[in-house]
Amino acid sequence: MKIELAVIAGDGIGPEVVAEGIKVLQAIGSRFGHSFNLHHGLIGGIAIDRTGEALPEETLKMCRSAQSVLMGAVGGPKWDDPKAKVRPEDGLLAVRKGLGLFANLRPVTVSPLLADSTALKPEVIRGVDLIVLRELTGGLYFGRPKKQWQTARGRRAVDSMVYSEQEIERIVRVGFELARGRRKKLVSVDKANVLESSRLWRQVTMEVAKKYRDVELEHMLVDTCAMRLIQTPKYFDVIVTENTFGDILTDEASVLAGSMGMLPSASLAGVPQDGGGMFGLYEPIHGSAPSIAGQDIANPIATILTVAMMLRYSFGLVKEANTIETAVEQVLNEGYRTSDIMEKGKTKVGTKKMGDLIARKAGGT
Ligand code: IPM
Ligand code: MG
């Protein structure tokens, strides 16, 4: 297969982890006979520095004409001035919105090899296998009005959690489809006891549920969900929720996997199909981690697993995706760890070395 891939590495550790993802991709390419034609573009802080915009038109065009996009991370202290007119994160939001990628799949699985090294009891997290489906192009992130202004009695600011029934329906439908292909249990997370947008979310979810009677649906308040994710994570199969709740719950869920550096994600415009063929933006859930950037210590596994998701969902290359996931497990099994998942008795390695080890296994050499 010959694949045209857009690469937007961004800021901080973004370029470092993306380089390792590409290393693994190339290894898979030479083993299984695929070629990846990479098109690099600017996004985030680096794009602001060079062009004044967080998502230059050229980058968006490049992404649109590629078959998929691999992203790193954006942001950093250099661009953190709350008064700044443009922020790196604007680029990320614009690329998600501009490409219409409303469905962000964030699978959370716990490697048995890391079950003893996380902050939680091994018996609580062993066997966790859930997906958070985060709505990605609506809600608080995009709702209007969104502004800060001066009044006679001081400054005020507003953000708006806005959802249309169409936006809710399409994401919830993806949630039901995902659950149908798994353990048939969907938890829809909202704050319907307080928020009007959540009450609409709940109504629409119940309407969509009529077409999915084989899937068990439960509504859960977001605060309860935050608690249960840590207390009884194995309870969950598929969680569907709005943008901000999904953002927060997935950072929380990364504790189950041992580190933010372990969780991949895929942003799609619908239900992933067997056989691939779906355009997507693939990004690790972690940020640009400026404090550790440039030191060869970031964990590249989230990005490497993100590459596996891309091969599976966009290109239907299931064997290749499984090969990457197995390679990650093998390297962990041999005792190699980046510093975020380091434990006593294991071998600490840097970003590049971890990438090399996984690429070598994935490439079968
Ligand atoms: C994520 C990140 C982003 C988000 C930030 C960097 C804007 O936290 O992908 O979870 O909030 O969506
Ligand atoms: Mg986040």
14 lines ligand 1 (CB under 6 A): no
What pLDDT score was predicted for residue 77?
Answer: 97
287 lines ligand 1 (CB under 6 A): yes
Q: Which of 191, 237, 313, 361 is catalytic?
A: 191
Phi, psi of 42 (to 5 degrees): -95, 140
Residue 149 and residue 140: Cα distance in Å, rounded? 18
Task: For Cα atoms 192, 230, 248, give the angle at the middle one, nearest 5 degrees.
Answer: 55
- For 225-264, the pLDDT digits (tens) are 999 999 999 999 999 999 999 999 999 999 999 999 999 9
75 lines ligand 1 (CB under 6 A): yes
Please report the atom of ligand 1 found closest to the CA of residue 244. Answer: 11
Only one residue has tokens 């501009």, namely 98
Residue 286 and residue 11: Cα distance in Å, rounded? 12
92 lines ligand 1 (CB under 6 A): yes
247 lines ligand 1 (CB under 6 A): yes
Superfamily of domain 118-257: Isopropylmalate Dehydrogenase (3.40.718.10)
Q: Which ligand is in closest contact with the Cα of 243?
A: 1
Ligand 1 centroid to residue 364 C-alpha, Å: 34
Tokens describing residue 21: 């993802």
Residue type, 25: L
Residue of minimum CA distance from atom 5 in ligand 1: 89
- For 277-291, the pLDDT digits (tens) are 999 999 999 999 999
Instruction: Verify whether residue 80 is a known catalytic residue.
Output: no
Instruction: Verify whether residue 247 is a known catalytic residue.
Output: yes
Instruction: Verify whether residue 336 is a known catalytic residue.
Output: no
Residue of minimum CA distance from atom 9 in ligand 1: 285
What pLDDT score was predicted for residue 275?
Answer: 86
| pLDDT, mean of residues 34-48 | 98
What pLDDT score was predicted for residue 273?
Answer: 85
Ligand 2 centroid to residue 248 C-alpha, Å: 6
Please report the atom of ligand 1 found closest to the CA of residue 73. Answer: 6
Taking 90 as the threshold, does the pLDDT of residue 365 lie above it?
Answer: no
165-180 helix and 196-209 helix, angle to the nearest 10 degrees: 50
Taking 90 as the threshold, does the pLDDT of residue 117 lie above it?
Answer: no
Q: Which of 8, 17, 71, 92 to mutate to test the pocket of ligand 1 (most atoms within 8 A of CB)?
A: 92
Give me the CATH code for the 1-102+272-365 domain, please. 3.40.718.10
Ligand 2 centroid to residue 93 C-alpha, Å: 12
Question: Taking a C-beta distance cutoff of 8 angstroms, is the pair 168, 133 a contact?
Answer: no
Taking 90 as the threshold, does the pLDDT of residue 116 lie above it?
Answer: no
What proportion of the chain, given as a percentage, has pLDDT over 70? 100
Ligand 2 centroid to residue 270 C-alpha, Å: 21
How much helix, strand and coil, in percent to the nearest 5, is found in the chain?
45, 20, 35
Ligand 2 centroid to residue 229 C-alpha, Å: 16
Are 1-102+272-365 and 118-257 equal in CATH topology?
yes
Residue of minimum CA distance from atom 4 in ligand 1: 247
Where are the domains positioned within the chain? 1-102+272-365, 118-257
User: With bands split at pLDDT 50, 70 and 90, how would you rate the model's confidence at 339?
Assistant: very high
Q: ω into residue 145 within 30 of 0, thus cis?
A: yes
- For 54-103, the pLDDT digits (tens) are 999 999 999 999 999 999 999 999 999 999 999 999 999 999 999 999 99
pTM over 0.95: yes
Nearest residue to 229 via CA among 251, 244, 197: 251
What pLDDT score was predicted for residue 119?
Answer: 87
Task: For Cα atoms 323, 328, 334, give the angle at the middle one, nearest 5 degrees.
Answer: 120
What pLDDT score was predicted for residue 179?
Answer: 98
- For 188-205, the pLDDT digits (tens) are 999 999 999 999 999 999
What pLDDT score was predicted for residue 118?
Answer: 85
Q: Which residue stretches of 258-333 are H helix? A: 301-315, 318-333
135 lines ligand 1 (CB under 6 A): no
Instruction: Verify whether residue 141 is a known catalytic residue.
Output: yes
